Structure 1
Amino acid sequence: MADNVEQTETPQEQKQSSRNLTPLFEANGDCIGWICIPNTAVNYPVMFTPEEPQKYLRKNFEGEYSVSGIPFLDGASTPECDNLIVYGHNMKNGTMFSDVTQYRDKAYWEEHPYIEFETAGGLRIYQVFAVVCLKKTDEWYGFSCFESKEQYQKAISEIKDRSLYDTGIEPQFKEQLITLSTGFGDSKDSRMVVIGVEQELKRNIYISERVKPMNEQIYYLVDNINRQSTKANKSHFCIFTITNIVRKFLITTVSAIISPPTYFHEAGNG
């Protein structure tokens, strides 16, 4: 969907932050999350407008005309579907999904094996397992939700066979995929896709790097409970600092889950 186009306007700089996405959601309700490939130019908000899938093909975050657009989630996808398809332009000035095309070199994959996608439901880490050149009409774009284990395995096997190189990674049924798609090649119909599979272990490593070591065990517990409760739309966690002690406070909207609210203390502090 996204073509090779020349950038004619200065892109708005994307700032690294603590990934507090609330201000983005408040500024534009079409924003669903943030996509990042560490140490690359891929570091942008992601939009989602299923009723008008290509709304941000030529619009920036503010909804103004922009030749580079902004990355957006496929209209047939949802945050919980089997294959998240995210589109972004391959800009000649190196912005948006330009770096995605660098994955044609296996050495680049070795240096940048992970994709981060963060939404209101939390941070997910995906390991790249296939890099494929295809057409915009390819059947892969029709795989948002797989109907069976057999369909999942068949699609994975076929896409791996078409990959530019073997990564040795074999996704398993029920593991969520993410597909980054951008224009590549001489034809307007030509695309390159980089496909990753969710890695729970790597995600936990990311979490441990973001908190103090003494917080790690309790953070894993809180984070895992948070992921499950978020899916059920029943509860969420907030972080409070009280006299320099970081506490995890469970706020529940369903008294049957935990009543009264439970405090999780920093390890070693009671």
Structure 2
Amino acid sequence: LPVMSDEVPAENTDFASVGSPKTFEEYYNINKDMIGWINIYIPNENDINEPVVQGEDNTYYLTHDFLGTEVKEGAIFADFKCAFTTRTRPANTILYGHNMASGKSFAKLTRYCTWNTSKITGQRLGISQYIAAPTVTFDTVWEKGTYKVFAAIFVNTEEKNGEVFKYYKQRTISGEGEFYDYIGKIMDRSLFFTDVDLEYGDELLTLSTCYYPLTKQAADTRFVVFARRVREGESAEVDTSKAIENPNPLYFDYYYQVNGGSWKGRNWDTDPNSTDTTKTHLKIKGFDEYYKSHETTASTEG
């Protein structure tokens, strides 16, 4: 267990009651549900910097903290169906955390939202947060991990308000088609585009929090950030200068009822030879080739 003796990124004062543990092993000895630690840099504020647990279901840690105390902010936790072992990781690690007014848990994930502004500096967020923190650190108790952020979406969870994108169901990836379909749905909805390349086989990290700009009573909505693991031998550096806002992300019916507008269709492509200036080129290796080959197969079989 190479990470177990490592110090956590910074002392977490929330655990002063149990002696302010400083290493993974000390935290793990307090709660055997601990599977790792997440850190995301937040300019001008405290980072997202907390242990991650995994329970027997997705409800216990909604209302209990790392120490097992019943609290409204709960804890940051992994989907209980995501399988972690000493040798393997999930194809898509899904982490949940509340969006607390106190700023705790995953509240600051919404700094990646392009229509938000900083209450401290007045600066437009979204791209500025991405430039400051293009990577996320998620270390498990077995190994270290760095992930490159490539998308952030605002989605609906209730059919009464329009299409529901069930990103939280994609815990596994069964083949190329499922991977490209999932990535395509994410990028259609992403509030920004980046220079991060994607390919089948990449390990994904999904960070989900509640977010109610339309009010919770009207629409039960989520803000979700997606990242992919830095590959073996790959640099963790990211060219953030190429990040741009998506001028027309896909939302859902109720959003358009409140704010007007509509989705104009997919405004990105993956063809490096494309001359269509109305679309943003994204680096998704094999995306076009996969669909073209299956179109050919379908037409031949027809």
Common topology (TM > 0.5): yes
Which residue of structure 1 lines up, in the alignment, with residue 7 of structure 2? none
The residue aligned with 1:147 is 174
Matched residue, 1:161:
188
Aligned to 1:178: 205
- SS of residue in 2 equivalent to 1:65: coil
Aligned to 1:216: none
Residue equivalent to 2:47: 41
Distance 2:21 2:176 in 1: 37
Cα-to-partner distance string for 1:73-129 (whole Å, 9 max, x where unaligned): 011212311111100111112121111001011111111111111112211000110
Q: Is the 8 A contact 1:35 1:43 kept in 2?
A: yes
Higher alpha-carbon deviation: 183-192 or 170-179: 183-192
Question: Is 2:109 aligned against 1:78?
Answer: no
For residue 44 of structure 1, give the secondary structure of its aligned residue in structure 2.
Answer: strand
Matched, 1:93 2:93: no
Q: Structure 1, residues 175-230: CA drift from partner, whole Å, max 9, x if none?
A: 11001100112236200000000113698769xxxxxxxxxxxxxxxxxxxxxxxx
Question: Structure 1: which 5+ runs fail to align?
Answer: 1-10, 207-270
Ranges of 4+ aligned residues in structure 1 off by more than 2 Å: 11-15, 17-20, 38-41, 135-138, 200-206
Q: Across the two proteins, how many residue pairs are aligned to each other?
A: 194
Give the Cα separation in 1 of the matches to 2:28 and 2:156.
33
The 8 Å contact of residues 72 and 86 in structure 1, kept in 2 or not, is answered as yes
The Cα of 1:67 is off from its aligned counterpart by 1.0
The 3-state SS of whatever aligns with 2:196 is coil
Structure 1 residues 63 and 93: CA distance shift in structure 2, 3 A: same
Residue deviations 1:249-269, cap 9 Å, x none? xxxxxxxxxxxxxxxxxxxxx
Amino acid aligned to 1:109: Y
Q: Return closer, same or farther for 1:106/1:14 CA change in 2, 3 Å cut-off.
A: farther
Matches within 5 A, 1:201-240: none
Give the aligned CA root-mean-square deviation in angstroms. Answer: 2.5
For residues 67 and 235 of structure 2, the distance between their equivalents in structure 1, rounded to whole angstroms, comes to 34
Scaled by the length of structure 2, the TM-score of the pair is 0.59
Partners of 1:18 and 1:175 lie apart in 2 by 33
Match of 2:224 among 178, 183, 193: 193
Select the structure that is richer in strand. 1
**Other-structure match for 1:122:** 143
Q: CA deviation at 1:168?
A: 2.9
The structure-2 alpha-carbon separation of the partners of 1:139 and 1:205, relative to structure 1 and needing over 3 Å to count, comes to: closer
Question: What's the CA shift for 1:18?
Answer: 11
Distance 2:173 2:232 in 1: 24
Contact 1:125 1:202 in 2 (8 A): no
Gaps of 5+ in 2: 1-11, 114-125, 158-163, 238-302
Whole-angstrom CA distance in 2 between matches of 1:125 and 1:23 = 22
Which of 70, 76, 80 is the equivalent residue of 1:65?
Answer: 70
Secondary structure at the counterpart of residue 131 of structure 1 = strand
1:171: how far off?
1.7
CA distance in 1, matches of 2:233, 2:13: 30
Q: Given residue 208 of structure 2, which amino acid in structure 1 is its aligned partner?
A: S
Residue 29 of structure 1: aligned partner = 32
> How far apart are residue 60 of structure 1 and its match?
1.2
Q: 1:134 aligns with which of 137, 155, 159?
A: 155
Give distance in 1, aligned partners of 2:71 and 2:61: 9
What's the offset of the Cα at 1:13? 3.2
Q: Measure the CA separation in 2 of the matches of 1:198 and 1:20.
A: 23
1:41, 1:96 within 8 Å by CA — same for their partners in 2?
no
Contact 1:125 1:203 in 2 (8 A): no
Write the mapping of 1:248-267 to structure 2, written as runs, cut at 5 A. Answer: none
Give the Å deviation of 1:170.
Answer: 3.0
The answer (yes or no) to whether the contact 2:21–2:27 under 8 Å persists in 1 is: no
The CA distance in 2 between the partners of 1:203 and 1:98, in whole Å, is 30
Taking every aligned residue pair, what percent have the same amino acid on both sides? 28
